[in-house]
Chain A
Amino acid sequence: MRTIQTEVLVIGGGATGMGVLADLALRGFKAVLVEKRDLTHGTTGRYHGLLHSGGRYVVKDPKAATECIEENVILRRIMPHCIEDTGGFFVVTPWDDPDFGDTFLQACDDTGVPSEEIDVAVMLREEPNLNAQMQRCFRVPDGSADSFLATQSVAELGRQHGAQVLNYHEVKNLIQDGDKIVGALCHDLVRDEDVTIYADITVNAAGAWAGKIAGTIGIEVNIMPGKGTMIAAAHRVVNTVVNRCKMPADGDIIVPAHTVAIIGTTDERVADPEHFAIEPWEVNLMMEEAAKLVPVWKETRMLRCWGGVRPLYQETKVADTRDVTRAYTLLDHETRDGVTGFITITGGKWTTFRQMAEVTVNRVCEKLGVERPCTTAETPVPNPFGHTGSYHYLGQRLAEVEKEKKFDALICECELVTRADVEHAITKGIAHTLDDVRRDIRLGMGPCQGGFCTYRAAGIWHELRDDPVEVTNVTLRDFLQERWKGLRPILWGQQLKQERLDELIYLSVLNADHLPGETASRLGPAMYEKGSIEDNPKAVT
């Protein structure tokens, strides 16, 4: 069995864990991060990508609002390449109370979130697809963040300072030595073998899975997984983040992210962060609510649907998960549970990940009895896949392809992913599946959802990896199934037609359902539990 010795072990490859890892590395700690699947497998990779201005919380959770705007400013400075400066609107729709706008403005002032009311006509000039019946509109500095790229970039920062990132390493249990946690026993899913990692301090940043991690040594951390369902429209029906100006509720925000626009979200308690359903009512609700903001939404092609699980921590029970604070929680299990060498950081939002990391690493320093100042607020974050130093903008890839006339080398035509990008992600990164490649470079994330690029990427994969062909085969099938996972709940109209073309390609033309080897691997996707005949008790066939 492999054994790794380090100073700090971080569990969880989402924004928080990666932030902690990089912060540790920058402060000179030897640190290792383990993630059960690929980076951003959890909530970080499944949210709508909002860089909060804080506007959403100014009324309900002023503390969170202030944290958001502070971090918003910092992230724009240190990692602009992960951010699109879309700006944000808070709009009062015909269904909302116009007076709430005054409350909102006042609360923005109180919390330090910059805001201004703009004319509805100005709003419509900038965003002609918005409902022309809006009553009021306020502008705030919301943005759109690429949480995949951000996590990869922060990982790169950590690596540059000596940190180690191990994906597909699932924690089986923490290792306890008396009152002290000395590390964790992990399972390497790729090699299918166990790995022991010893550390002076273990940081539990497993998000919605944090309770499970703590539970392996009998510590109760009460995480209420709050599922949020989101749907992406196939193109940017809006270019500005659009929020309903009212108390936060289901389906009240549309975020333009890269080439799509995402409506979010619902908020439902689920028992298990890994296994949950996307319910038809959630899809319908998102469609209806989105149409209130953007009337053409229902005629717009839906690209994909997914669910993410918010890691909301609570000490006491509250029925409606939305009333739990979004502000994060740091649990020192030494003072809380009498167990040393173990802390849990949970809750929070993507926007505040850096601050959460800072607070966490401060505590690590304290526990190790050293004083090392945090520098993450001033340290630029590198981009392992391209440019740094300026905001991402929508036309960036188009401009890059145009500039070098790389038209022939497009593997994923929808998202303008070139052969060089794919080769880089397969050989230089830590991808173990095509889905990992997707997260790195947006392969297969456009309208055809892998219809054309899955075969191409599998071809390149096979060329570069030298795996037995059965591995390539199952990699291809896993990716098709993973794309199918997010399509099934929203398959109608144009996207259904697209899916049928994808079937024609993979069944009729390629006969890929008769590839040698396994039909699915252990690295393949876990399906949502609603959406098919098998889940429908009244099924007709």
Chain B
Amino acid sequence: MTFNIWGAQTDIELMPHRPAEASLDECIKCNICVTACPVTAVTDLFPGPKYEGPQAARFRQGQQETPDYSVDYCSGCRVCNMVCPNGVRIAEMNARARATIVEQDKVPLKHKVRNNLIARPETLGKLGQPVYPISNFLLGSGFGRYFADLFFDIAPKAALPGYASEKFSKWAKKHEKPAQAQRKVVYFHGCSTEYYEPRVGKAAVHVLEANGFEVLIPPQNCCGLPLLSNGEFDAAQKYHESNIKKLIDYVKQGYVIVGTSTSCTLTLKEEAPELLSFYTDDAMLLAGNTFDFNEFLVHLLDAGELRTADLRPIPLTLAYHPPCQYRAHRIGFPALEVLDLIPELTIIKSEAACCGVGGTYGYKAEKYEISMEVGRPLFEFVHEVNGPVAVCDSETCRWHIAGATGVPNVHPVELLAAAYGYEVEGPLADVLR
């Protein structure tokens, strides 16, 4: 059962799979999830996780018209899954129920178009990044946002990321590999690192190299999670199949996949196979050998293989928000375990349920206010801790928190890269300078 960190595990035992809906049998109706749900706490439009999850699921029948649209107000934050003492997979049930609504063409056309637009970061990246000065100008202008709102119901105040001047993969090609790597690992950068925040990828490469890895960066696609969370399952499956094709040979050669985007790694590990009921051998093999970045580092730490001796102190007190996807990874808070190693760094973990953005949820005009209300306790916490930056593993959360608080956000790997003595870019560089 223990994981051998030095190589991919190719003899993964395929477990029998039951759809998330089957877990409704575990619900004992105790309503713990309702007390924890951050969405139902701020809006009447969402009647709560128990209601939409195990309760409503008993009344849904795939071949009949979906009777409840309020399930679309689930932000997918998975607080309900985390607090449920009985292991009901509420968020996944909701995601699948939403997909049925999409499948039955019950989403207004305007929103359907909008959802398909914001759920395709790869397409947006390919279109926008090469002409980044123009795209950034448009995205930053009130005029551009006015039309985005008018035509697509994209919330005019939602924080959008700016395109990077150079794609991460372009940097990676130029990057000189270490002369003597003992091991190889595959890095899944995801769309955000590729088009918006290459600095996270650079830090990740540095940290892996500091621990004796050669980092392989094969071509890759969007993981498809934004599409999954918008119920566009067919399109998501295409991305997932393409990623399997592009990555599976590496796994078969014995390399594991690590990613700094908690949502991308989650999709490869579990969301895609489970939500799509896509349990091919290759899909499961890829799933079993994909790691969240911090999770991977904790495995190294457990094995006594993480370089910890010469970490430089970072004398800062920072707020840390564990993103919602960690709940679905079910690996605890590995970033806490990793950042705990950096001398003089004080990390204060937020107890807030969710930042509110829910991937693409907070970009939608009809849900923006909800997302800001959901995030309010977190924003207050970030202000209270009053660090020069805040820390979060997930890109959309970082953008949302930064937009709402004005405090720049960084990925934990950036702190670690700095502690290893690498030069970092962006807000952390300003702070450490």
Question: Which residues of A pack against B, CB within 8 Å?
Answer: 126, 234-236, 239, 259, 296, 299-301, 393-399, 401-402, 405, 407, 413-414, 416, 446-448, 451-452, 494, 497-498, 501
Could you say which residues of chain A place their CB within 8 Å of the CB of B172? none
Q: How far is the CA of A111 from the CA of B13 in the complex (A)?
A: 51
Interface residues of B, dominant DSSP: loop
B59 engages A395 (CB within 8 Å): yes
The contact sample of 7 A-B pairs, CB cut-off 8 A, is A239-B63, A299-B22, A300-B22, A394-B61, A395-B60, A405-B44, A497-B28
Q: How far is the CA of A296 from the CA of B70 in the complex (A)?
A: 30
Q: How far is the CA of A79 from the CA of B263 in the complex (A)?
A: 51
From B64, B69, B70, contact of A394 by CB (8 A): B64
Question: Which residues of B pack against A, CB within 8 Å?
Answer: 18, 22, 24-30, 44, 47-48, 50-51, 55-61, 63-70, 86
Q: How far is the CA of A416 from the CA of B48 in the complex (A)?
A: 14
Q: How far is the CA of A451 from the CA of B86 in the complex (A)?
A: 17
Q: How far is the CA of A498 from the CA of B64 in the complex (A)?
A: 30
From B22, B27, B28, B67, contact of A395 by CB (8 A): B67
Q: How far is the CA of A402 from the CA of B69 in the complex (A)?
A: 8
User: Min CB distance, B10 to chain A, in Å?
Assistant: 28
Inter-chain pairs besides A235-B25, A398-B60, A401-B68, 20 sampled, C-beta below 8 Å: A126-B63, A239-B61, A239-B63, A259-B58, A259-B59, A394-B59, A394-B61, A394-B64, A395-B60, A395-B61, A395-B68, A396-B67, A398-B67, A398-B68, A413-B29, A447-B28, A447-B29, A451-B29, A498-B29, A501-B28
Could you say which residues of chain A place their CB within 8 Å of the CB of B56? 398
Closest A-B pairs by Cβ, 3 of them: A399-B67, A395-B67, A301-B25
Could you say which residues of chain B place their CB within 8 Å of the CB of A239? 61, 63
User: Min CB distance, B306 to chain A, in Å?
Assistant: 40
Given A498-B28, A501-B28: A402 in contact with B59 (beta carbons within 8 A)? no
Could you say which residues of chain A place their CB within 8 Å of the CB of B29? 413-414, 447-448, 451-452, 498, 501
Given A235-B24, A498-B29: A399 in contact with B58 (beta carbons within 8 A)? no
Q: How far is the CA of A407 from the CA of B69 in the complex (A)?
A: 13
From B50, B64, B68, contact of A413 by CB (8 A): B50
Could you say which residues of chain B place their CB within 8 Å of the CB of A501? 28-30
Could you say which residues of chain A place their CB within 8 Å of the CB of B61? 236, 239, 393-395
Q: How far is the CA of A413 from the CA of B58 in the complex (A)?
A: 11
Could you say which residues of chain A place their CB within 8 Å of the CB of B58? 234-236, 259, 414, 446
Given A126-B63, A402-B67: A497 in contact with B25 (beta carbons within 8 A)? no
User: Min CB distance, B88 to chain A, in Å?
Assistant: 10
**Nearest opposing residue in chain B for A449, CB measure:** B29
**Nearest opposing residue in chain B for A395, CB measure:** B67
Q: How far is the CA of A236 from the CA of B18 in the complex (A)?
A: 15
User: Min CB distance, A149 to chain B, in Å?
Assistant: 17
User: Min CB distance, A125 to chain B, in Å?
Assistant: 10
From A300, A301, A393, A413, contact of B55 by CB (8 A): A413
Could you say which residues of chain B place their CB within 8 Å of the CB of A299? 18, 22
Could you say which residues of chain A place their CB within 8 Å of the CB of B60? 394-395, 398
B28 engages A448 (CB within 8 Å): yes
Q: How far is the CA of A185 from the CA of B208 in the complex (A)?
A: 90
Could you say which residues of chain B place their CB within 8 Å of the CB of A236? 58, 61
Q: How far is the CA of A301 from the CA of B57 in the complex (A)?
A: 14
Could you say which residues of chain B place their CB within 8 Å of the CB of A407? 44, 47-48, 51
Q: How far is the CA of A416 from the CA of B70 in the complex (A)?
A: 15
A398 engages B28 (CB within 8 Å): no
Q: How far is the CA of A394 from the CA of B25 in the complex (A)?
A: 17
User: Min CB distance, B259 to chain A, in Å?
Assistant: 32
Instruction: Kindly name the residue among B44, B59, B67 whose own CB sees the greatest number of chain A CB atoms within 10 A.
Output: B59
Q: How far is the CA of A378 from the CA of B113 in the complex (A)?
A: 50
Could you say which residues of chain A place their CB within 8 Å of the CB of B28? 447-448, 451, 494, 497-498, 501
B57 engages A235 (CB within 8 Å): yes
Q: How far is the CA of A239 from the CA of B58 in the complex (A)?
A: 11
Could you say which residues of chain A place their CB within 8 Å of the CB of B70? 402
Could you say which residues of chain B place their CB within 8 Å of the CB of A399? 67-68
**Nearest opposing residue in chain B for A499, CB measure:** B28
**Nearest opposing residue in chain B for A129, CB measure:** B22
From B18, B27, B65, B66, contact of A447 by CB (8 A): B27
Could you say which residues of chain A place their CB within 8 Å of the CB of B26? 301, 494
B51 engages A234 (CB within 8 Å): no
**Nearest opposing residue in chain B for A259, CB measure:** B58
**Nearest opposing residue in chain B for A406, CB measure:** B47
Q: How far is the CA of A299 from the CA of B26 in the complex (A)?
A: 11
B51 engages A497 (CB within 8 Å): no
B66 engages A395 (CB within 8 Å): yes
Could you say which residues of chain B place their CB within 8 Å of the CB of A447? 25, 27-29
**Nearest opposing residue in chain A for B57, CB measure:** A235
Q: How far is the CA of A501 from the CA of B28 in the complex (A)?
A: 8
Instruction: Kindly name the residue among B27, B63, B67 whose own CB sees the greatest number of chain A CB atoms within 10 A.
Output: B67
Q: How far is the CA of A446 from the CA of B61 in the complex (A)?
A: 17
A234 engages B25 (CB within 8 Å): yes
Could you say which residues of chain B place their CB within 8 Å of the CB of A452? 29
Q: How far is the CA of A398 from the CA of B63 in the complex (A)?
A: 15
Q: How far is the CA of A539 from the CA of B27 in the complex (A)?
A: 32
Could you say which residues of chain A place their CB within 8 Å of the CB of B65? 395
**Nearest opposing residue in chain B for A407, CB measure:** B47
From A296, A397, A451, contact of B59 by CB (8 A): A397
**Nearest opposing residue in chain B for A399, CB measure:** B67
Q: How far is the CA of A498 from the CA of B24 in the complex (A)?
A: 13
Q: How far is the CA of A494 from the CA of B86 in the complex (A)?
A: 9
B25 engages A393 (CB within 8 Å): no
Could you say which residues of chain B place their CB within 8 Å of the CB of A397? 59
User: Min CB distance, A503 to chain B, in Å?
Assistant: 12
Could you say which residues of chain B place their CB within 8 Å of the CB of A259? 58-59
Q: How far is the CA of A300 from the CA of B30 in the complex (A)?
A: 19
Q: How far is the CA of A494 from the CA of B70 in the complex (A)?
A: 28
Q: How far is the CA of A259 from the CA of B61 in the complex (A)?
A: 10
Could you say which residues of chain A place their CB within 8 Å of the CB of B48? 407
Q: How far is the CA of A414 from the CA of B27 in the complex (A)?
A: 10
Could you say which residues of chain A place their CB within 8 Å of the CB of B18? 296, 299
**Nearest opposing residue in chain A for B62, CB measure:** A239
Instruction: Kindly name the residue among A259, A399, A446 whose own CB sees the greatest number of chain B CB atoms within 10 A.
Output: A399
Q: How far is the CA of A446 from the CA of B50 in the complex (A)?
A: 14
Could you say which residues of chain A place their CB within 8 Å of the CB of B51? 407, 413
User: Min CB distance, B55 to chain A, in Å?
Assistant: 6
User: Min CB distance, A372 to chain B, in Å?
Assistant: 42
User: Min CB distance, B107 to chain A, in Å?
Assistant: 16
User: Min CB distance, B67 to chain A, in Å?
Assistant: 4
